A and B are shown apart, each in its own frame.
Chain A
Amino acid sequence: MKKYFGLVALVLISFIMQSTVLQFLQIFGVTINLVLVVLVVISLQTNEVTGAGLGFILGFLTDILYSQFFGVNSLLFFCIGYLAGRISEDVYKFDYFTNLYFVLFGTLFYHIFFYFIHYFLKIGSEAILITLTPILIEVVLNLIILYPIFRLEKSIFKKLKIN
């Protein structure tokens, strides 16, 4: 139980940091997606149920506080958490590069499906070319921030006795 409280606390802290302090650290007008990186790393080290649960919490908060339509972020973060947790059983999840590929595909997955959902809702459907550069910048920033997060999470996981 302590383990799950610890993981939820980690995700909530990253959400608060993402919505406040990190908003002042924009690079070319793009903010690092800390919550996505944290979610992918935790889901990889745990399992699909934990990943999906934490993803849903993150998405739910984002939808409630910022979104126009409820469910878009809940759905995407839920899927990312579930898939990362599910696939982690078939890969060597302790390797840094495995985490790197997952963050890369996780970020792309989020943006591609975010675009498609809004396309079907007829919002900003013409915008994919405009947002391509910010998405690529975000991918690079997420990969850069992965290293410290990966190291930090390893030591936190040791304390929480996960793995």
Chain B
Amino acid sequence: MINLQKTKKINSFIFLFIILVLVITIGLSTTRNQPSQISGMVGSVFSPVQKVFYSIGQTFTNSFDLLLNISRIREENLQLQEKNSMLQEENIQLKYIVNNSEALKNEYEMLSNIQYDYVKSQIVSRDIGNWFERFTIDKGTNNGIQVDDIVIKAVKTEDQLVKVGLIGKVVDVGYNWSKVVTIDDIISSVSIKVLRTNEGGVAKGSINGIIEAFMFSQTEDLKVDDEIVTSGLGEIYLPNIYIGKVAKIEKTSDLLTEKITIIPIVDFERLYEVFVIKVDRR
């Protein structure tokens, strides 16, 4: 009995000691990066297993969605076929214009030359809690991914245009996995501009997944449904990547800035395959 009490006392001391160590670790990790070698190893082991289970989950969700949307898909298919033939026709016309205009030809060539190197990757797992929006992908340093590389996805806007939609950025890389923080996460902040007016601002994520932005100046010109893209300032995100549309505009009391709410084009809950743009920051 005395021995048992002694063991309990020792356990309590060890418990308190570990708590103290962990509290200090939290404090230290706010100023330093995580031990990347350990995280790299853990991620390398878990990533392939999680990939399999994430695919299973995705397959079940897709099959369920397919069953629910089969009639809508048929209708959409007919519309797409029609659209496809229209686009083919338009494409021929555009090629004709490009080939016949020297300026456009140069621009076309320039755009072809500055295409960034990218990696297609699959999401393998998501943050287990309900507080943050983070996920891991199945590509890492073995595919040349680095911290701060940009994660994007091809998205279709309401007017049926395919655009490059911003998802977030890589914050940690292992050999065969990377950790991604989405733009609606509370630690994210993106330099933005309004596509129509070129006005600048900074967008931040929040704990409930809403993206809010502060515009650098108050203007009457800003409207609901204006398109928001990255401005390229801050040297993390490349310019002109589509973020979403303005949903709400609020004047701030300081009369200098303007607060807007953005509806992102990307559905962060339904992500499966993403692209990582490898940005050479040397």
Query: Which of A70-78, A94-102, A148-156 touches B?
Result: A70-78
Which residues of chain A from 57 to 76 have any CB-CB distance to chain B below 8 Å in the complex?
61-66, 68-75
Interface size on A, residues (CB 8 A): 49
Quick check: is B91 within 8 A (CB to CB) of the other chain?
no
Interface size on B, residues (CB 8 A): 47
Main secondary structure of the interface of A (DSSP, over half): helix
Quick check: is B98 within 8 A (CB to CB) of the other chain?
no
Looking at the assembled complex, report how far the CB atom of A30 sits from the nearest CB atom of chain B, in whole angstroms.
5
Looking at the assembled complex, report how far the CB atom of A57 sits from the nearest CB atom of chain B, in whole angstroms.
11
Quick check: is B216 within 8 A (CB to CB) of the other chain?
no
Do B26 and A75 touch across chains, with their CB atoms under 8 A apart? yes
Looking at the assembled complex, report how far the CB atom of A21 sits from the nearest CB atom of chain B, in whole angstroms.
4
Quick check: is B130 within 8 A (CB to CB) of the other chain?
yes
Given contacts A16-B46, A124-B207, A62 and B26 within 8 Å (CB-CB)? no
Quick check: is B131 within 8 A (CB to CB) of the other chain?
yes
Given contacts A24-B57, A68-B132, A68-B187, 18 further A-B contacts (CB under 8 A): A20-B54, A20-B56, A21-B57, A24-B60, A24-B61, A29-B209, A30-B130, A31-B130, A65-B125, A66-B126, A66-B136, A66-B179, A70-B26, A71-B29, A73-B129, A74-B25, A75-B22, A134-B208
21 A/B residue pairs, CB under 8 Å, sorted by A: A15-B128, A17-B53, A19-B50, A19-B128, A20-B57, A23-B126, A24-B57, A26-B269, A29-B269, A31-B128, A48-B11, A62-B127, A62-B128, A65-B43, A66-B129, A71-B25, A78-B19, A118-B131, A121-B26, A124-B206, A130-B207
